[in-house]
Chain A
Amino acid sequence: MKADPITGFWGIERGYLASPASHEQFKKDVLTGTTINSFEYEDPFNFIPSYGATTSLNFNNNFIQFGDGYSSLSSQGLNNVNMQMNLPFYEREASEIEQIIEHVEKHIGSPFPFQTVKYDDLEPNEKYKALYSVPPYFQQEFQCEGIERNYSRGEYQNVDLVFGNKNISLFSKDYIFAIPSMPTNFYDKIKAEIKKDTFEHIPDQSLNETSLFRVKKFGSTKSRPFAGKERINDKTLTYDLLFDPIDLEKMTLILAFMMSKAGTWFYFSPDGKESSRKKFICNEISQSYTYNNVFSVRCRIAETISF
């Protein structure tokens, strides 16, 4: 196999990632193409999970603490997002459970595509959905990290799988929820959301707020430590934000915003008022599939004090 003499790329076949005439054309095809050509994954995991499935996103950042409570974030690497799906397959026939387990055991230690709807089974204007693993994630490659099987009754059984993905990078994180071939209206909303510097969604009334006090401490080996009030920045807030129940669009906007800020701060105030907003970082997101077009999202955010 030879590299393309013009672009320098290796082994790129025609298709969605079409062999481009130039590097500029390559970027255009990948990032701004509005149609996707026919494609078929090789041996995808195509079993649809039951309601109750959850996805968690954790952002790996170094928290650098300066004097007087000031802090800064530094990404631990290019791939600083841990994505984990907990997928229940409940009340399935024993034969289906066997197929599910056989599929993931065949791929122990190696990634495989996760695709719940095939390209050929979709209407022309919905072909983009073939790129979902499960909505709203345009993220197909997973490794199975474990199986929990319950023999509830001989004929029908339950199995829980844990899928992991650590491929999301600082460069790809904005394309997990928005691809150009999805409906333009929704795509534009997501792109507009990730450009914002303020998180504007009002959480559920069951808001959990934790205040952490920063105090001056002084001690020696011969006496108990002495604690006193800090001069400035003596309190930081942590919020556990719940959005439940919400629809697919609102969930996607929340997730896309938090994902776009993986490693950077944003403004937020629980009541949405500009006067009370502060700077926060998001450490962890958990999302679950409740029923039909109903979802819930929980975000843990912590106040950060920076210039």
Chain B
Amino acid sequence: MSKFIRYTECPVKINEDFYLAKRASIGAQASATNPIEFGGKVGISTGIGPERSEFFMQYFVTGENDPIANLTGKNSCSGSFGGIEFSGAYLTNYHIGIKPYAPVEMSARFVVLSGFNNNIQESSFSENDYTVANGANVELTNMNYLNIGMDNPVEITYEVACERIPSFVIGSSYPRHVNLGAVEKYLDINGDDIGDVINYQERDIAEISIKASDELGRSRGQTLFCSGAIENQRLDISAGGTLNGQVSIKEVIR
């Protein structure tokens, strides 16, 4: 029997914290093949590798800190949304998008390695009075011409990518443990030209910090830091448009 459940809000729970999500999705992809015998007889579909499950959410931070930002290490998390519960989830991608006068939007992507418990049901966000970070209230440090070759950033995206390497042993469907591989931070800044410093490629920069707040100046999410080196620079110009610059910074953590 199918159900049509309308969501006014999109509440998601990660560990013990509720999030005001804009969108959340969960999916699983099987690694399966159909053996075909000599003569053409097709056998039944057989799983030849672990199921790859992924949970993705776009959300707004409504508290002083964002606990998801602390999941870039070795710890796993559990969660639920729309009645689907999952555990053994590891953060693979943490992303923040900052635009002028728009709410600061977060997104997180998890790989789920220990299955689900399904019981589709309706739920709602219990917080009545909440505020989110706004692009107009973001405090930037070292985001200037001398450091990155740009004085007026317009759009900022910050991303942490965490490689997860599951370790399987013979006879087991689920990994015995999950190793943390490479962790890298990416900071992309779009702004009003990058002037005469387009040759800044591979230049190490002073640490940049980004602190987002709501309209009342209350902190929303941790202060973000990124140092590393300028990996990419680009200058765009188009008929009827303005000169735009883009700077990409990459920091390798491990």
Q: Which residues of A contact B (CB under 8 A)?
A: 48-51, 53, 90-92, 116, 134-135, 153, 155-156, 202-205, 207, 244-247, 270-272, 289-292, 294
**A291 to B170 Cα, complex, angstroms:** 7
Question: B174: nearest residue on chain A (CB-CB)?
Answer: A292
**A79 to B39 Cα, complex, angstroms:** 37
Q: Are A270 and B38 in contact (CB under 8 A)?
A: yes
Q: Which residues of B contact A (CB under 8 A)?
A: 31, 33, 35-41, 46-50, 165-173, 179, 181
Q: Are B170 and A245 in contact (CB under 8 A)?
A: no
Q: Are A135 and B36 in contact (CB under 8 A)?
A: no
Q: Are B171 and A205 in contact (CB under 8 A)?
A: no
- Hey, which chain A residues are within 8 Å of B48, CB to CB? 245, 290-291, 294
Question: A156: nearest residue on chain B (CB-CB)?
Answer: B179
Q: Are B165 and A203 in contact (CB under 8 A)?
A: no
| Contact residues of B: prevailing secondary structure | strand
The verdict on A50 contacting B35 (CB below 8 Å), with A291-B49, A294-B47 known, is: no
Could you tell me the distance in whole angstroms from the C-beta of B40 to the nearest C-beta in chain A?
7
**A202 to B38 Cα, complex, angstroms:** 6
Could you tell me the distance in whole angstroms from the C-beta of B60 to the nearest C-beta in chain A?
35
**A61 to B172 Cα, complex, angstroms:** 37
Q: Are B170 and A289 in contact (CB under 8 A)?
A: yes
Q: Are A204 and B179 in contact (CB under 8 A)?
A: no
- Hey, which chain A residues are within 8 Å of B36, CB to CB? 204-205
Q: Are A203 and B169 in contact (CB under 8 A)?
A: no
- Hey, which chain A residues are within 8 Å of B169, CB to CB? 48-51
- Hey, which chain A residues are within 8 Å of B40, CB to CB? 205
Question: A53: nearest residue on chain B (CB-CB)?
Answer: B170
Q: Are A91 and B167 in contact (CB under 8 A)?
A: yes
Q: Are B170 and A202 in contact (CB under 8 A)?
A: no
Q: Are A156 and B37 in contact (CB under 8 A)?
A: no
Q: Are A51 and B179 in contact (CB under 8 A)?
A: no
Q: Are B35 and A204 in contact (CB under 8 A)?
A: yes
**A109 to B50 Cα, complex, angstroms:** 38
Closest 6 CB pairs of A and B: A91-B167, A48-B169, A202-B37, A245-B46, A205-B36, A156-B179
Give 20 new A-B contacts, CB below 8 A, not counting A156-B167, A272-B39.
A48-B169, A49-B169, A49-B170, A50-B170, A116-B170, A134-B170, A155-B179, A202-B41, A203-B37, A204-B35, A204-B36, A204-B37, A204-B38, A245-B35, A270-B38, A291-B31, A291-B50, A292-B173, A294-B46, A294-B48
The verdict on A135 contacting B168 (CB below 8 Å), with A203-B37, A245-B48, A291-B47 known, is: no
Could you tell me the distance in whole angstroms from the C-beta of B249 to the nearest C-beta in chain A?
24
- Hey, which chain A residues are within 8 Å of B165, CB to CB? 91, 156
**A289 to B46 Cα, complex, angstroms:** 14
